[in-house]
Amino acid sequence: MEHHPKHAISKRRLILSREKRGLIFLIVMRFAQLVIGPAGSGKSTYCSYITKHFETQKQTAQVVNLDPAAEYFEYEPVADIRELIHLDDAMEDEDLKFGPNGGLVFCMEYLLENKDWLQEQLGDDDEDYILFDCPGQIELYTHMTVMKDLVEVLQNWNFRVCGVFILDSQFMIDGAKFLAGTMTALSVMVNLVIPHINILSKIDLLGKQSRKKLE
């Protein structure tokens, strides 16, 4: 079978056309998690621990940093959006004049416009399990299309994509925060239209009274 690592869509069409001639080819799927959640919820920490867990199982998980404003994380990313564009680049451009939120949206849109860069960074290893450490700006997932468009790009590259929504457990011990957190998670699920799981983080940091409320 011909191998075109940088043209996954063309590769899929080639396979389908060959099937019509009586030949059967297997499309090897790759797997990805979009790690989503409010700023400070523990997304990068989750990615770090998942990669360590994979190592104990003698398997490999790679992490892609999609936060153009990230300052520190405990993993070594296989791709880092900051090498393509940094939030400061968008905010300091005198023609654009973006604030932090507008600059972040611009960076994600710029990534999609330059998706060939991302595909080159990811390579073509069929055994990859990729964690995408996403920005904490919830608007990107609830009512904008940029992350949904990214999902479609990954699916066209033969990735099976799921969403992992991480919420600080502090949200669960206050009625208003609980409602806001659950509605946000539901909005993300509806907008992205991918398999989805919700995870509570930082439970170990709760005091005894807070844990009783959570129980």
Q: Is residue 17 part of a domain?
A: no
How confident is the model at residue 9, as a pLDDT? 38
Could you please report the per-residue DSSP string of 99-162? -HHHHHHHHHHHHHHTHHHHHHHHTT-TT-EEEEE--S-THHHHT-SHHHHHHHHHHHTTEEEE
Report the number of distinct structural domains present in the chain. 1
How confident is the model at residue 13, as a pLDDT? 38
Instruction: Please tell me the distance from the alpha carbon of residue 152 to that of residue 166, in angstroms, as a whole number.
Output: 22
Q: How long a stretch of residues is the chain?
A: 215
Residues of the chain with pLDDT under 50: 1-18, 20
Q: Is residue 64 part of a domain?
A: yes
Which residues 6+ apart lie within 8 Å of 195 measured at CB?
Answer: 161, 162, 163
Separation of CA 31 from chain center = 11
Q: Is residue 1 part of a domain?
A: no
How confident is the model at residue 127, as a pLDDT? 64
Q: Is residue 18 part of a domain?
A: no
Query: Nearest to residue 198, comparing CAs of 27, 2, 38, 12?
Result: 38
How confident is the model at residue 112, as a pLDDT? 96
Domain that residue 191 falls in: 30-214
The pTM for the full model equals 0.83
How confident is the model at residue 207, as a pLDDT? 81
Q: Is residue 5 part of a domain?
A: no
CATH number, domain containing residue 57: 3.40.50.300
Which residues 6+ apart lie within 8 Å of 149 measured at CB?
Answer: 112
Instruction: Please tell me the distance from the alpha carbon of residue 19 to that of residue 209, in angstroms, as a whole number.
Output: 62
Q: Is residue 16 part of a domain?
A: no
Query: Nearest to residue 44, comparing CAs of 81, 72, 82, 8?
Result: 72
Q: Is residue 4 part of a domain?
A: no
Q: Is residue 24 part of a domain?
A: no
How confident is the model at residue 3, as a pLDDT? 44
How confident is the model at residue 170, as a pLDDT? 85
Instruction: Please tell me the distance from the alpha carbon of residue 166 to that of residue 132, in angstroms, as a whole number.
Output: 13
Coil/strand/helix, residue 44: helix
